[in-house]
Each structure stands twice: as structure tokens, then as C-alpha cells.
Amino acid sequence: MSVKIRLTRIGRHKDAIYRVVVADSRFARDGRYVEQIGYYDPAKGEDSANINEELALKWLLRGAQPSDSIRTLFNRKGIMEKYAKAKKEAK
């Protein structure tokens, strides 16, 4: 099972809001997911993204692969730096 951290779309027509979810890569984009770890409203900008860092780090350390857009959000929030530090300490 390949687990991904990715965006799933919710919201009205032409007014998208996204959930940040952990899902099996074989599931549909807006289909079933394992856990919701946050949300993101692009109209308010990347700083308004609300992501639970503990859950994000838990899933990254378990081997979940972030999508490109999620990797960008995580970099801006500093989660990828914390992930690299935690991974280095685990060795």
C-alpha cells in the first residue's frame, strides 16, 4: 500500500477549498482517505493553511509520500525541516 499525503477538493464551483489528507494512492482524489490532517484555502494564501504538524510528522516518519503541492506547503510551514531533523535523530 502506497500512502500519499495530498489535497482533496471540497467547496463550491470556482471557490475551491482543500483538505490535506493521508490516503492510499490507489483511491480517487476525492474518495476515501485514511486521516485528515488539515485544510488549505488558496484564496486566503499559503499562510492560512491549517495543518496538524504532529500528524503530518507521524505520517512522514511512517513513509507517506507528500505530493508536490503538499511538499511546498510543508516547506513553507517548516514541517519538512522538522521531518529531516527527526529522521536524522532516529538513525
Instruction: Work out how many domains the chain is built from and give that number.
Output: 1
Q: What predicted TM-score, i.e. pTM, was given to this entire model?
A: 0.88
pLDDT(1) > 80: no
Residue 91 scores a pLDDT above 80: no
**CATH number of residue 61's parent domain:** 3.30.1320.10
- The predicted-structure confidence for 53-85, as pLDDT tens digits, reads as follows 999 999 999 999 999 999 999 999 999 999 999
Residue 38: give the domain boundaries: 3-90
Q: Helix, strand or coil for residue 90?
A: helix
- Residue 89 CA to residue 73 CA, distance in Å, equals 23
Q: At 62, give phi and psi (nearest 5°).
A: -80, -10
